[in-house]
Amino acid sequence: MPEHNIDPVLKAADRCVPGGSPALKIGLAAFLLAGILTLVDATLAAALLAGFLLLCLAAPFFPRFSFYAPVVYRGCSGRNAVAITFDDGPDPLTTPVLLNLLKRRGVTATFFVIGENVRNHPELAESIVRHGHLIGNHSFRHSTRIFFKSVPAVIEDIEATQVVLRQCGIRPLVYRPPVGIVSPRLGSALLKTGMTLVNFSRRPLDGGNRRLRNLSGRVLRRIHGDDIVLLHDRRPPDENMIPLWLKEVEAILDGLEKKGLAVMPLSDLIGRPVMMRC
């Protein structure tokens, strides 16, 4: 059953959510100005349109840029606190040990899960919620090809993940696209599915747990209150690297404490619900 109806809970205060995406307005302004410039200098008009085209091509690769869709990439709590998020799970080797670590440290995180992984391991999604954590939608197969598909295809991908999570009694209200890329069609798809796009403001460029050396240092460098931290619970290429990964996650938690930064649930940091039980 489609998730097109927006729940009343989504009408809560949206202080962290930008008012809209400027792509259409900027495009209309660029073409209008180019039309005027054509009367004066056709070369300058062409350069203006070329610049707009370059902006359109580059915009998807800036996860904080609300060009094609409103993007929440940091909190609005005003507190010395951050939210920690884990992408690309759940995984039977990494997610359970991570849950144990977070439980021991008393930390609430948000897991942006891949629908296909949940379909294969529904017990892990249930365990995440049972441990008190939140779950967001991170696409069904984490395929970058979705960026080139139609709005209905993007909606289908989002709802496929919603379906498998609903079978676990979970309804995410937030979505994070694969690699954080905000494609031109994503805004319309999210509007029709009633989802909020949540990306991140701090990422260690770990390549999905392929670059674990000094992971904690890259995260903690220049971290500030209201940052949304991107990590992964994807299995490293070498399973023997899992202990190193856990050590780096714990070092991040230690470093946050030393900096006087608490870890808040993502919903508290951004001032709106992240998921519901159904």
3-state helix, strand, coil in the chain (%, to 5): 45, 15, 40
144 and 82 co-located in one domain: yes
What is the DSSP code (8-state) at residue 202? B
Question: How far is Cα 236 from Cα 257, in angstroms, rounded to an integer?
Answer: 26
Identify the pLDDT of residue 13. 42
Instruction: Indicate the residue type of 60.
Output: P
Question: How far is Cα 193 from Cα 87, in angstroms, rounded to an integer?
Answer: 21
Question: How far is Cα 275 from Cα 175, in angstroms, rounded to an integer?
Answer: 10
167 and 251 co-located in one domain: yes
Q: What domain range includes position 189?
A: 71-277
75 and 172 co-located in one domain: yes
Residue 12 lies in a domain: no
Residue 235 lies in a domain: yes
Residue 232 lies in a domain: yes
Residue 53 lies in a domain: yes
87 labelled catalytic: yes
Identify the pLDDT of residue 132. 98
pTM for the structure as a whole: 0.88
250 and 114 co-located in one domain: yes
- Interacting residues of 242 by C-beta distance below 8 A, sequence separation 6+: 93, 94, 97, 235, 236
Identify the pLDDT of residue 238. 96
Residue 125 lies in a domain: yes
CA max distance for the chain: 69
Which one of 61, 83, 107 terminates a domain? 61
Question: How far is Cα 36 from Cα 42, in angstroms, rounded to an integer?
Answer: 9
Residue 85 phi, psi dihedral angles, 5° rounding: -125, 145
Nearest by Cα to 23 from 61, 56, 71: 56
Which one of 61, 89, 114 terminates a domain? 61
From the candidates 41, 87, 157, 238, give the one annotated as an active-site residue.
87
90 and 48 co-located in one domain: no
pLDDT in tens, 237-262: 999 999 999 999 999 999 999 999 99
114 and 243 co-located in one domain: yes
Question: How far is Cα 203 from Cα 23, in angstroms, rounded to an integer?
Answer: 25
Residue 134 lies in a domain: yes
DSSP 128-190: HHHTT-EEEE--SS--GGGGGS-HHHHHHHHHHHHHHHHTTTEEE-EE--GGG---TTHHHHH
Identify the pLDDT of residue 156. 96
Question: How far is Cα 272 from Cα 69, in angstroms, rounded to an integer?
Answer: 18
Q: Block means of pLDDT (10 residues each) for the chain, length 278 residues?
A: 42 56 76 82 86 84 87 96 98 98 98 98 98 98 86 96 98 96 92 96 95 97 97 96 98 98 98 95
131 and 29 co-located in one domain: no
From the candidates 91, 157, 232, 233, give the one annotated as an active-site residue.
232
CATH number at residue 138: 3.20.20.370
Tokens of 244: 């190193």
142 and 183 co-located in one domain: yes
104 and 204 co-located in one domain: yes
Residue 3 lies in a domain: no
56 and 92 co-located in one domain: no
Question: How far is Cα 41 from Cα 55, in angstroms, rounded to an integer?
Answer: 22
Q: In Å, what is the CA distance from 65 to each residue of 73, 169, 183, 214?
A: 9, 33, 11, 27
Name the domain count of the chain.
2
Residue 162 lies in a domain: yes
C-alpha triplet 141, 145, 151: angle, nearest 5°: 95
The 10 Å CB-count burial string (b at 16+, else e) for 164-193 is bbeebebbbbbbbbbebbbbbbbbbbbebb
30 and 148 co-located in one domain: no
Instruction: Find out whether 274 and 267 touch, Cβ atoms under 8 Å.
Output: yes
Q: Which residue has the tokens 């379906």?
A: 163
246 and 223 co-located in one domain: yes
pLDDT in tens, 37-70: 888 888 888 888 888 788 888 888 888 888 889 9
